[in-house]
Amino acid sequence: MNIKQLSIFVENKPGRAYAIAEALSNNNINLSALSIADTSEYGIMRVIVDDPEKAKKILQEAGVMVKITDVIAIPMDNSPGSLTKILKILTDADISVRYMYAFVNEHKGGAVLVTKTGNNDMAVAELSKFGISTLDNDNLF
Amino acid sequence: MWNEKIEKMSREEIRALQSERLVAQVKRMYEKVDLFRQRMDEKGLKPSDIKGVEDLSKLPFSYKSDLRDYYPYGLFAEPMSKIVRVHASSGTTGKQIVVGYTENDLGMWSECVARMLTEIGADNNSFVQVSYGYGLFTGGLGAHDGATKIGATVIPISTGNTKRQIQTMIDFGTTVLCCTPSYALYLGEEIEAMGVKDQLKLKAGIFGAEPWTEDMRKAIEDKLNIKAYDIYGLSEIMGPGVACECKEQAGMHVWEDMFIPEIIDPDTCEVLPEGASGELVFTTLTKEGFPLIRYRTRDICSLNYEPCKCGRNHVRMRKPSGRSDDMLIIRGVNVFPSQIEEVLIKVSEGDITPNYQIIVDRVNNNDTLDVNVEMSETMFTDEIEAVEKVEKKITEMLRSTLGIGAKVHLVNPKSITRSEGKAKRVIDNRKLH
Ligand SMILES: [Zn+2]
């Protein structure tokens, strides 16, 4: 199961990231995960929200470059080695990891690993072979 | 003077010589250049209708776009067997424009530069350091051949490596320096910093290929302890030396035995009265390989026909005060915004071309070129490496298209200020006029 991530272009100027977060919260968009990959001049902000289509519209209207990207969300228990286990499954199946970030999901009482891989569908299938079921946008919130 | 007979001609003598040469040039070009013949025919003109300079304004104009449309050799008036050299410069699009010279053309060109060098006090005992770029750009070889003609010792060092430039000046005893004015100023500052000013033998410098101000002249003269002279030219007409300052430093003498300048209103194309400011138009009288009639330079300036204190009557042109098109001269290189647009069209692969803005500035006497590009759907992805790749691609394509480096900045969509719905394409923060 893939989930929808918002990928947002952010210039490295004071207040840019804040303006984006503010636009979302003003419109009651619930933001549950965020990561930024950046260079010295700009970055790509990746966020998981409860209503990606609505959030995309809001940001576009605010003049922000935004795209929706398919990623997968994998629940992790708090035991040591759970990340290693997931990565091993993907590595053994020869699936590349483009990027990943994690967040704590309070409601579900555990961490969630968000990743984009070279082949998301194959990754989901491989993980399920090991009893790991990926999350969808609905059961994240 | 290098060529007293020509340089000291009276206005009447100049006009008689120009008439004779113009009639011959028109006749020759009508026979040899298809485009010129077509344009004459369109106007119902025969070469016999041109009896002297008084008929010049009847003749059709020629344009930079002609050089693109007939690229590379379509406008040459001699077979390639007679062409001994080509030079090239930027066109308005990605494609460069090319010009050709016969052996006689090169001789006339070096004659122009030789007249200037002699005027500013250079002779066969001089050491002329040519710090213009050598290559397809006309600056390096143009100055080189002129200095060779007067028998000076030429130091063909070309551009770059400032420390070595200065060491060479000291060790080789350079007396005349040829480079862009901004580089001269930069050299002057380095020389001050190195504290070697008293080891220099420099007397004069010939600076051109980019706009510069009287303040820059004063700064260069002060820092290098020389007289700084302005030179004008464009590759379409010949190269540097079409017009040169004399010791009076009061306008550049156009060598009227070889070129006829006119000033026109760029909108109505009417010839303007003496002294008026408008677009400079050139007709080449002696060029064989690549002659042009009434070529629109797009430079805005005025002409002064008063006799000069130096004893010459060749008309003097003022330093150009701007352009009638949007060409920029950055580090001596001609840059058109359309070239940058063309790169962005290619990068957006058929999608809407992103908005862009060109920012030119001068920092530490060096021109800087920044290009802001609004992020577009085609360029943006969720992976930073992919976005960096796009940025790098634009940077590399700009370098190869423009011939100079540009710093690319990816910015937010719709963040470039628009006035009346149109983005302002060029911001030139240099104070050059
Ligand atoms: Zn003079």
Mean pLDDT rounded to a whole number for chain B: 94
Q: In chain B, what residues touch A11 (CB-CB under 8 Å)?
A: 410-412, 415
Whose structure tokens read 């306008």? B251
* Cross-chain Cβ contact A63/B412 below 8 Å: yes
Residues of chain B with CATH 3.30.300.30: 333-428
Tokens standing for residue A5? 């991530």
* Cross-chain Cβ contact A46/B413 below 8 Å: no
* Cross-chain Cβ contact A67/B384 below 8 Å: no
Comparing C-alpha atoms, which of B403, B387, B395, B402 is closest to residue B371? B395
Residue B220 CA to ligand 1 center (angstroms) comes to 21
Beta strands in B265-381 (DSSP E): 278-284, 295-301, 303-304, 316-317, 322-323, 328-330, 333-335, 356-363, 366-374
Q: Which of A128-137, B299-308, B337-346 has the highest mean pLDDT?
A: B299-308
Q: How confident is the model at residue A38 (pLDDT cuts 50, 70, 90)?
A: confident
Interval B171-197: pLDDT, tens: 999 999 999 998 999 999 999 999 999
Region B80-108: mean pLDDT is 92
In this prediction, residue A30 carries a pLDDT of 87
Residues in chain A: 141
The answer to whether residue A106 scores a pLDDT higher than 80 is no
The percentage of chain B sitting over the pLDDT mark of 70, rounded to a whole number, equals 98
* Cross-chain Cβ contact B412/A64 below 8 Å: yes
In this prediction, residue B407 carries a pLDDT of 96
Name the minimum distance, in Å, from the CA of A64 to any CA of chain B. 6
In this prediction, residue B421 carries a pLDDT of 63
The answer to whether residue B45 scores a pLDDT higher than 90 is yes
In this prediction, residue B420 carries a pLDDT of 64
- CATH assignment of B4-325, among 3.40.50.12780, 3.40.630.10, 3.40.190.10, 3.10.180.10: 3.40.50.12780
Find the CB nearest B413 among A16, A38, A65. A65
In this prediction, residue B419 carries a pLDDT of 67
Is residue B305 less than 8 Å (CB to CB) from chain A?
no
Is residue B375 less than 8 Å (CB to CB) from chain A?
yes
Instruction: Give the SS3 label for residue B191.
Output: helix
Is residue A46 less than 8 Å (CB to CB) from chain B?
yes
Provide the 10 A C-beta neighbour count for residue B28: 16
Interval B229-240: pLDDT, tens: 999 999 999 999
DSSP string, B93-122: SSS-EEEEEEHHHHHHHHHHHHHHHHHTT-
Which pTM was predicted?
0.80
Which domains does chain A show, CATH number per domain? Answer: 3-70 (3.30.2130.10), 71-129 (3.30.2130.10)
CB pairs under 8 A between A and B: 49
Name the minimum distance, in Å, from the CA of B407 to any CA of chain A. 12
Specify the CATH number of the domain B333-428: 3.30.300.30
Q: In chain B, what residues touch A38 (CB-CB under 8 Å)?
A: 384
Tokens standing for residue B379? 């360029």
Q: In chain B, what residues touch A120 (CB-CB under 8 Å)?
A: none
- The distance in angstroms from the start CA to the end CA of chain A is 15
**E strand or H helix at A90:** helix A82-92
In this prediction, residue B365 carries a pLDDT of 82
The answer to whether residue B146 scores a pLDDT higher than 80 is yes
Interface test with B, best of A2, A7, A9 (most B CBs within 10 A): A9
ipTM: 0.89
Is residue B309 less than 8 Å (CB to CB) from chain A?
no
The answer to whether residue A23 scores a pLDDT higher than 70 is yes
* Cross-chain Cβ contact A67/B381 below 8 Å: yes
CA distance B41 to B332: 38
In this prediction, residue A104 carries a pLDDT of 83
Q: How confident is the model at residue A27 (pLDDT cuts 50, 70, 90)?
A: very high
In this prediction, residue B348 carries a pLDDT of 84
Is residue B384 less than 8 Å (CB to CB) from chain A?
yes
Instruction: Give the SS3 label for residue B27.
Output: helix
Region B97-115: mean pLDDT is 98
